[in-house]
Amino acid sequence: MKLAIIRQRLPSVAPTLATAAAIEVGHLGNFQLPIPFLLLIASMMYAGTTGGRIGGMLSAAICSVMLLHGHVSGFGPQMIIASLPLTLASIAIFATMGYFVGRIADQRDALMEKRLEAQRRDQEQPLLLAAKVAGMGYYIWDTVNDLPVVVSEQHARNHGASVEAFLATAASVGGAIGLVHPDDRQRVKEGCREVLKGVPVTLEYRVPVGDETRWIRASVEPQTDDCGNVVREVCASLDITEQKTNERIFAEAQRLDAVGRLTAGIAHDFNNILTVVTGNVELCRLESDSADQRELLTQALDATARGAKLTKQLLAFGRRSVLAPEALDANRVINRLDGLFRRTLPSTIRVETQLGRDLGPVKADRTQLESALLNLAINARDAMPDGGELIVTTRSQTITEAEPTAGLEAGTYVVISVADTGTGISETALERVFEPFYTTKPIDKGSGLGLPMVYGFVIQSGGHITLKSQPGHGTQVEMFLPRATSELETAPDDAPAPASEAVSSPVDLPEMGLLIEDPAAWQKTAQTRRAPQ
């Protein structure tokens, strides 16, 4: 660094050297420059002004040599030639002048540099603040030496490290690529090769940070020298984990919606078929005189009942089931189910409830809510074969427009959470848990319709459901259900019926019925069942 400064200051000494050389040539050629030593003083002042303390001292040294040379050789001002003390005093004056002129010039340059640095910082501050607000990091990479030049704190934070840790990783054998998820490293390396060819690249890759995985979008722009060689890479990085999560949730919701529509359509048609089969089998059983035939027909009815239950679950997943939403106290519903939980779950599983206060009424179908909670409890039981803990909690949460949660409109919701300490769910299975008939249980242990039915009920109720799980760390399911706000919704269950509904039974009128059924097979079955015996 000091050598570079000296090289930078050397040109300022050139006038002094030229003047000294001219004086010496004049002395040897028997001709004298006008005012030669005043020219030395002027050149020394120039050296100190432009070259700073180093230039001034070097120029003063050259002048001192010329003074001694003049004294010894007998040329120059008479007083210098005649007296050695005056010569030495002149040398001291030259040295002092060179030092102080150069010192003043250095202070001037330092002051200007500080002002320029302050001005640069003032200009950079809004850009740095904007980058911080946007969560954007940046770095400048020296491709010649394969080392970072500048790394922002936000860029290092995006990669789950401090600036010092990022620089240490970059300087290691593997380089900064070691921070990238192993599955994405090859793609990032290919992108870096494209940048070295002078092609701008935008990459999206994952970065493991503790127990979570972040998504990073990096836009890299190459910088070239006059020969067209890439000498630097300028990169801007952004944490897009939330965006990727929302995209995944949206894609999953679209997929489940499509599956739900298809499932509901099939279940609806299948339910029509079962209705006809059930009605006719029941008629045959009523009219049969054979006990054996009635037994067989009873078994057939049991099978159709199981089929009807299955279609009901499918319709619930497809959000086609008929709900009867009412204002419910979620804490009261859970307290009523607490005994059922304890009877259903083995003694090795401890049930704990943590119910929030002042939740307000929740708008939901009581039967479906109870069924959903029971389904989640059974799933938790199956995930804890060796025992564990089931924790049911409630809380009130307000979703604002400024802080939206995926799938929810702004408003107040009652959140019911069911968590267990079981085996957890793998990342692959986690993406499919709400699909109908998908299950990781043995065939005789589950139909794969429990969670889909819960999902359909929550979505049809205007809410949202989240499921978090890690293998070996249990599972947590949260149901966001809208609060009831109108007076009608918060009316007590035993409120008297409106006057318009209090109509007496027409016992004095002749019996007459209007039969409306579709399709025709339903109509025929219903007509046969209602025919007088």
CA distance 328 to 370: 11
Q: Higher pLDDT residue, 469 or 38?
A: 469
**C-alpha dist (Å) from residue 244 to 11, 218, 241:** 59, 14, 5
Q: Which two tokens stand for residue 324?
A: 């009867």
Reported as type and span, the H/E element at residue 245 is: helix 241-287
Q: Which two tokens stand for residue 296?
A: 């067989």
What is the pLDDT at residue 491?
40
388-399 vs 349-354, strand pairing mode: parallel
User: 436-466 pLDDT, tens per residue?
Assistant: 666 666 544 555 567 777 888 888 888 888 8
> Residue 61 above 90 pLDDT?
no
Give, rounded to a whole angstrom, the gap between the first and last alpha carbons of the chain.
Answer: 113
Tokens 């929302």, located at residue: 246
Q: Higher pLDDT residue, 130 or 107?
A: 107
CA distance 188 to 186: 5
Which of 453, 452, 333, 348 is closest to 394 using CA atoms?
333
CA distance 449 to 435: 8
> Residue 24 above 80 pLDDT?
no
Q: Which two tokens stand for residue 301?
A: 């009815």
What is the pLDDT at residue 509?
45
Q: Which two tokens stand for residue 176?
A: 């900064």
What is the pLDDT at residue 106?
82
- Please tell me which of 70-84, 253-267, 294-308, 331-345 the model is most confident about, judged by mean pLDDT: 331-345
Residue 89's pLDDT band (cuts 50, 70, 90): confident
- Please tell me which of 49-53, 80-84, 477-481, 526-530 the model is most confident about, judged by mean pLDDT: 477-481
**C-alpha dist (Å) from residue 518 to 265, 269, 359, 521, 525:** 16, 12, 44, 8, 11
How far out from the chain centre does Cα 86 lie?
A: 79
SS3 assignment, position 213: strand
CA distance 126 to 132: 10
- What domains can you pick out in the chain, each with its CATH number? 2-112 (no CATH), 134-239 (3.30.450.20), 246-319 (1.10.287), 325-482 (3.30.565.10)
Tokens 């290691």, located at residue: 172
Kindly give the interhelix angle for 36-73 and 84-133, rounded to the nearest 10 degrees.
130
What is the pLDDT at residue 298?
81
> Residue 490 above 50 pLDDT?
no
Arithmetic mean of pLDDT, 216-231? 88
Reported as type and span, the H/E element at residue 430 is: helix 427-430
What is the pLDDT at residue 419?
92
Arithmetic mean of pLDDT, 126-153? 79
User: 322-338 pLDDT, tens per residue?
Assistant: 567 888 888 998 888 88
What is the pLDDT at residue 504?
38
**C-alpha dist (Å) from residue 334 to 20, 307, 329, 330:** 103, 29, 9, 6
Q: Which residues pair with 482 in a beta bridge?
A: 413
**Which amino acid does the sequence have at 305?**
A
> Residue 221 above 70 pLDDT?
yes
Residue 202's pLDDT band (cuts 50, 70, 90): very high
Task: Classify residue 473 by its DSSP letter.
Answer: S
- 8 Å CB contact between 335 and 322: no
CA distance 365 to 463: 12
> Residue 417 above 90 pLDDT?
yes
What is the pLDDT at residue 81?
63
CA distance 439 to 430: 11
CA distance 511 to 479: 48
CA distance 301 to 270: 15
Go through 158-177 and write b for each residue having 16 or more CB atoms within 10 A of its CB, e for each that does not.
bbbbebeebbebbeeeeebe
Residue 282's pLDDT band (cuts 50, 70, 90): confident
Cα R_g (the chain), whole angstroms: 44
CA distance 456 to 464: 10
- 8 Å CB contact between 143 and 224: no
Reported as type and span, the H/E element at residue 388 is: strand 388-399
Residue 487's pLDDT band (cuts 50, 70, 90): very low
Residue 50's pLDDT band (cuts 50, 70, 90): confident
DSSP string for residues in 286-314: HH---HHHHHHHHHHHHHHHHHHHHHHHH
CA distance 273 to 408: 37
Average pLDDT for the chain: 76
Total residue count of the chain as it appears in this document: 533
User: 244-278 pLDDT, tens per residue?
Assistant: 888 877 776 666 666 666 666 666 666 667 777 77
CA distance 147 to 141: 6
- Please tell me which of 36-40, 202-206, 405-409 the model is most confident about, judged by mean pLDDT: 202-206
SS3 sequence of 2-47: HHHHHHHHHHHHHHHHHHHHHHHHHHHCCCCCCCHHHHHHHHHHHH
Q: Which two tokens stand for residue 432?
A: 């499919």
What is the pLDDT at residue 476?
92
- 8 Å CB contact between 377 and 360: no
